[in-house]
Structure 1
């Protein structure tokens, strides 16, 4: 099939979380500019939140991206506005999965109506590749998180029930001391099965991908992990780059923050945030505050509390902290335009939980990372950041893993201002430039792989 002769029809099925929808949409834009017809399928509440990203885009595709609504049933505890991971209470997650599973007949009808040449799917729902296969449609997976983390999970996903010896794993740099206890206590994980005994673990989704697996990453950062995963899964691993949206500076979002930044000297300011779905405990928040104060570095600190918590910021921070840091610190509650801030020339470091989306954004803008991972894949992403030389992780207390103010201050100063951090700052800029220069080459390879797949 030649995309120059006939537009290749691709159905995209991202998971219902914004951090998954965004990279899918960025890939959709790139493919749409190369004569692909994209059908982007999600719940109405998710689609309504992203439609402006197409209509407002300076290079918007001419009807090459069509949104397809997937209507989840409105269960008593799951109204339509909750048909998304954004702001979803944790207790409703299983109900959202149940509702999504109930759309299988509807999605089958959508596929048969659209007749796509290819389906690109995400980690959930687990039955997508089997449904595509039953309809004789090739399908491929996207890994929207870090490849190194999937390598670790793949290492544990075997059928026996034996303890794991991490010495067998070829990347010892992914085993920092504060994770060794967790690894030594883990058993190799048996596959999750459905009623028919079929493997239904998230890793099975990748193994069912036709010939290739797309990954939201770059060879400069995770090349050796891609090689390992390719051998493990028996698939070609095709990097997509960062898939970070292009920055559009035609709005006034966050201008109060930008105006504050404009008054600071070049590169002495750090952005501090632990992501949109996490919040620090009070003890760690106090240590972070003291660390920021001790570092004597300018900072923008995004502080969030769990939904429903009626807490005042001044009640959780050290006495007098706000007054003592008023000239060099800015406290922000809730949402910020993170990319716009990271792109500012006066940002010299990113204190991050190391969610993969944040890692990619930091790399795109050449900002070194001060890693303070909290949960999920963060600890392993932090190791990738440090091993690659584009950041440092803040050491925690060995006994209980809590933050220590002295460590916070030490790492911030080293990464942002001290001579010992010059190499980190240089590598962050170099990786950013390298990825930017190869963007067209990376996209061309993806197009070639997709065309080959549908020609075979």
Structure 2
């Protein structure tokens, strides 16, 4: 049952990307465990694809399906970023904007005490205010990313809007401490148009973010104060709103007899035959897709390293993705037995938990980072999109990960740098610092008691907030 005080009803509404939905679900589960009611809102197909819930939570955690509105140019059945190529993601945002009316109806009928929303649905506070429901912008991005994104221009401050990609390659003026946290030119150039400028069809991501920040009542951040205290202070200072770190939300899984384990059985059989700590696990999340050139260098680099590898490779994003990428000719024959390329779903947590995995080559998406730390696997980074560059800089700064060297302007890298980076982090003496560091930070990221305290602290604030308003 709910601790200290009246039970709450909290609605949550993440962006239509699994990298956002899963942390929202993890926080929902932690709240539901304390006996509060959570309404998890998304579209039907996304809800059907979410991991199973433990039976003891089903009375507290309810899934609410809002039908996906039709948007021209958005492929049929596309309800998440995993279903579409990068250039069609903007139509997904427009479709989510089309949920405003059904969201208003849900809020009116269900009258939750609070709603937590994501930056894409910046319109939630204005809808919720009609029903006197307080809102929290829950950021799955870490505090360093929010601090780097900065204050709302012109709102009680004289900070200018950064107008060129180059301005995003240095730490901003409002950050008073020494840091290397900034994008590389190639990282910001890849997203500049969609994220910073927008177009006549769609509102820019930065505008959605600023409106979310300006109009919410308080902030929830996927972070912990022991990990990035200085960045949490930056957010508090620039937005002048209550900021709550909610912990790192490590992924938890629940399985029953009906869970498909055939895929894992085969993978485990192969991993069991490998030497302990020698296999590099390679996966870039549900959205990142390498270009053909990146794929070629990456493949040949893994081959060159001589290390065994297990690679989960996305060759296309959704049915409408017609830009197919292919592995170099003869690559699979040459690495047969030593490496596996899996182009379907793979159980990431199970793979990472296996003893033969010695490191994780990843895009630096925060859920993957937390999962690597959960299982003490050192990180090799290769960034592609969104917040990944900022995450990578913070991890490098804290000596928690090593990035494959690249050209700052165009992002190109070589097979040699892939081979050297992987070998260094997994087996060489100079990589010891990364292998050691990942063990040290595990208690910070994955301690159940610490995570529980963050949630308790948040719920106690929400209960008091509700009391003072009634």
Of 422, 431, 451, the residue aligned with 2:463 is: 451
Number of the residue aligned with 1:355: 365
Number of the residue aligned with 2:138: 142
How far 1:224 moved relative to its partner?
Answer: 2.0
Comparing 363-372 and 288-297, the one that deviates more: 288-297
Of 383, 396, 414, the residue aligned with 1:386 is: 396
Once residues 91 and 433 of structure 2 are traced to their aligned partners in structure 1, the CA distance between those partners, rounded to angstroms, is 48
Contact 1:415/1:422 (<8 A) preserved: yes
Number of the residue aligned with 1:18: 18
Once residues 227 and 217 of structure 1 are traced to their aligned partners in structure 2, the CA distance between those partners, rounded to angstroms, is 12
- Normalising by structure 1, we get a TM-score of 0.86
Number of the residue aligned with 2:203: none
CA change 1:167–1:150 in 2 (3 A) is closer
Number of the residue aligned with 1:207: 214
Number of the residue aligned with 2:356: 346
CA change 1:176–1:332 in 2 (3 A) is same
Contact 1:160/1:190 (<8 A) preserved: no
Once residues 135 and 249 of structure 1 are traced to their aligned partners in structure 2, the CA distance between those partners, rounded to angstroms, is 39
| Alignment of structure 1 residues 59-70 onto 2, 5 Å | 60-70=56-66
How far 1:368 moved relative to its partner?
Answer: 1.3
How far 1:180 moved relative to its partner?
Answer: 10
Comparing 251-260 and 413-422, the one that deviates more: 251-260
CA deviation profile, 1:34-66 (whole Å, cap 9, x unmatched): 12111121111222222x612xx2x63151111
CA change 1:332–1:39 in 2 (3 A) is same
Once residues 192 and 368 of structure 1 are traced to their aligned partners in structure 2, the CA distance between those partners, rounded to angstroms, is 40
Number of the residue aligned with 1:105: 101
Contact 2:357/2:377 (<8 A) preserved: yes
Match of 2:277, SS state, is coil
Contact 1:242/1:361 (<8 A) preserved: no
Once residues 144 and 382 of structure 1 are traced to their aligned partners in structure 2, the CA distance between those partners, rounded to angstroms, is 15
| Alignment of structure 1 residues 409-424 onto 2, 5 Å | 409-424=419-434
Of 439, 454, 465, the residue aligned with 1:442 is: 454
Once residues 19 and 129 of structure 1 are traced to their aligned partners in structure 2, the CA distance between those partners, rounded to angstroms, is 23
| Alignment of structure 1 residues 34-433 onto 2, 5 Å | 34-50=34-50, 53-54=52-53, 57=54, 60-75=56-71, 78=74, 81-90=77-86, 92-154=88-150, 157=153, 160=160, 164=167, 166=171, 168=173, 169-170=175-176, 171-175=178-182, 201-210=208-217, 212-248=218-254, 251=259, 252=261, 253-307=263-317, 308-309=321-322, 313=326, 316-317=327-328, 319-398=329-408, 400-433=410-443
How far 1:401 moved relative to its partner?
Answer: 2.3
Once residues 155 and 114 of structure 1 are traced to their aligned partners in structure 2, the CA distance between those partners, rounded to angstroms, is 33
Match of 1:348, SS state, is strand
Number of the residue aligned with 2:28: 28
Contact 2:148/2:171 (<8 A) preserved: no
- Return 5+ residue gaps in structure 1 as ranges: 194-198
Once residues 279 and 162 of structure 1 are traced to their aligned partners in structure 2, the CA distance between those partners, rounded to angstroms, is 28
Number of the residue aligned with 1:196: none
How far 1:280 moved relative to its partner?
Answer: 1.6
CA change 1:137–1:257 in 2 (3 A) is same
Match of 1:221, SS state, is coil
How far 1:274 moved relative to its partner?
Answer: 2.2
Match of 2:355, SS state, is coil
Match of 1:290, SS state, is helix
Once residues 172 and 29 of structure 2 are traced to their aligned partners in structure 1, the CA distance between those partners, rounded to angstroms, is 42
Match of 1:81, SS state, is coil
- Normalising by structure 2, we get a TM-score of 0.84
How far 1:277 moved relative to its partner?
Answer: 1.9
Once residues 187 and 69 of structure 2 are traced to their aligned partners in structure 1, the CA distance between those partners, rounded to angstroms, is 43
How far 1:229 moved relative to its partner?
Answer: 1.2
Once residues 421 and 91 of structure 1 are traced to their aligned partners in structure 2, the CA distance between those partners, rounded to angstroms, is 37
CA change 1:406–1:220 in 2 (3 A) is farther
Once residues 128 and 70 of structure 1 are traced to their aligned partners in structure 2, the CA distance between those partners, rounded to angstroms, is 14
How far 1:278 moved relative to its partner?
Answer: 2.3
For these two proteins, the number of residue pairs brought into alignment is 441
Match of 1:86, SS state, is helix
Match of 2:11, SS state, is strand
CA change 1:155–1:17 in 2 (3 A) is same
